[in-house]
Amino acid sequence: MEWLKVEVGPCQRILLILVLMYSKCIQCNPIKVTSEVTRKTLIEMPKIQLDKPDSYICMAVPVTDLEFSTVVGFKIDVIQEITHHVSLALCEEYETNQTVWDCKSGHGHICSGRSAVFGSWDGGSKNHNVGILFGKDVKLNYVVIQAHFKEAVPDPDALKSNPTNVTLFLTEDSRNYSYQKVILFSSGYIPAFSDDFKAEIICKWESIPVKLYEYFAHAHNYGQLIEGYIVRNNTKILISMDKPKGKSHDTVQIEGRHIEIRPGDILAARCSYRNKGPSQIQFGLGFFDEMCNLELSFKYDAKQIDAFPQSVKCGSDAQDRVWCPNGGHDQVDVLCDLQHEATTKMALEDIYKLIM
């Protein structure tokens, strides 16, 4: 699934017993929702016995079971006390031969080959005219669901219902736009005793023009502010500015602002942290690690299907102050100016006014 290339520490091995009254996972409900969505297909993850908290379980469904050929949205329903967070992907291949498996050790790498990984994208995206064509011809052969379970589940039979459901919205015809995302992230660490440490990320867009329509900004416990910009000819365009809320994955729509990324643009992001403690904090996926993660969902011309076989990754080491000097990119002096600006609460409120 490859949605982060941050270094991961040795993962805690968990003992896991998969009890698999794995009956029939797919039920095709011929429900006509709108003229756009021709079919809703429910995929239920079976009840599974988990003897440790904080487990990651994956499940793969061959797309040949889905009948229709384009995903235009999905909906996730979970029992919140049990299932914490669900990711969904279409993949060419995945890491095991099993249908349901423990995917904690492969953290973030459950697909191989071509893939489209959705952070959050629901039926509301219909009007973006975005769809993802799947099947052998486009090398997307499996739907893979990854669920993060907060608590142990010692007695799955006691659960009232399956705790993790994914409903796919499907249609037979293609869409004008396809979906992919760009992931900006930091590696390295936050030094001890730092009042305002900034992890900066920068990279150049070398691909075709795309339109942004949704993002999420994600940090863990020390994040104060997460900012994203496009720099074009030394002018900055604000994409996002958020105060991170714990480990939230909430997505924000940016469709109304029609932000385009053009070839030659610079994508820039930074996260500001306060770490008053005596230890440095690593960036990573572990519970005690920190993250600086800005994921931008975009749509692009579906005729150019080969432009983005996977998500685009853009990572920088937090110890390299890549914004200024400019990490080897021209025309980004504006980031140097910004580097010296204090990111005050006032500035944040101004920005919100701008966005609204």
Contact residues for ligand NAG (CB under 6 A)? 44, 77-79, 96-97, 129, 161-163, 165, 176, 232-233, 262, 264-265
Nearer CB in complex with ligand NAG: 29/346: 29
CB of residue 176 vs ligand NAG: minimum separation in angstroms? 4
Question: How many C-beta atoms lie closer than 10 Å to residue 191's C-beta?
Answer: 14
Nearer CB in complex with ligand NAG: 42/348: 42
Decide: 207 and 264 in contact? Cβ < 8 Å.
Answer: no
Nearer CB in complex with ligand NAG: 221/331: 331
Tell me the two tokens of residue 324. 């200024």
Distance set, CA 309 to CA 26, 211, 265 (Å) = 27, 17, 20
Nearer CB in complex with ligand NAG: 189/229: 229
Cα Rg of the chain, angstroms? 21
Nearer CB in complex with ligand NAG: 162/240: 162
Decide: 311 and 26 in contact? Cβ < 8 Å.
Answer: no
Handedness of CA 24, 42, 76, 91 (dihedral sign): positive
DSSP state letters, 133-190: E-BGGGTB-EEEEEEEESS-BS-GGGSSS-SEEEEEEEESS--SEEEEEEEEEEESEE
CB of residue 167 vs ligand NAG: minimum separation in angstroms? 9
CB of residue 72 vs ligand NAG: minimum separation in angstroms? 14
Three-class HEC string of 184-236:
EEEECEECCCEEEEEEEEEEECCCCCEEEEEEEEEECCCEEEEEEEEEECCEE
Peptide linkage before 156 cis (omega within 30 of 0): no
Point out which residues pair with 108 in neighbouring strands: none
Nearer CB in complex with ligand NAG: 147/292: 147
- In total, the chain counts a number of residues equal to 356
CB of residue 83 vs ligand NAG: minimum separation in angstroms? 8
Tell me the two tokens of residue 26. 């797919």
CA angle 73, 74, 79 (to 5 degrees): 165
CB of residue 194 vs ligand NAG: minimum separation in angstroms? 34
Tell me the two tokens of residue 290. 């920190």
CB of residue 291 vs ligand NAG: minimum separation in angstroms? 27
CB of residue 31 vs ligand NAG: minimum separation in angstroms? 12
CB of residue 10 vs ligand NAG: minimum separation in angstroms? 21
Nearer CB in complex with ligand NAG: 96/279: 96
Nearer CB in complex with ligand NAG: 108/163: 163
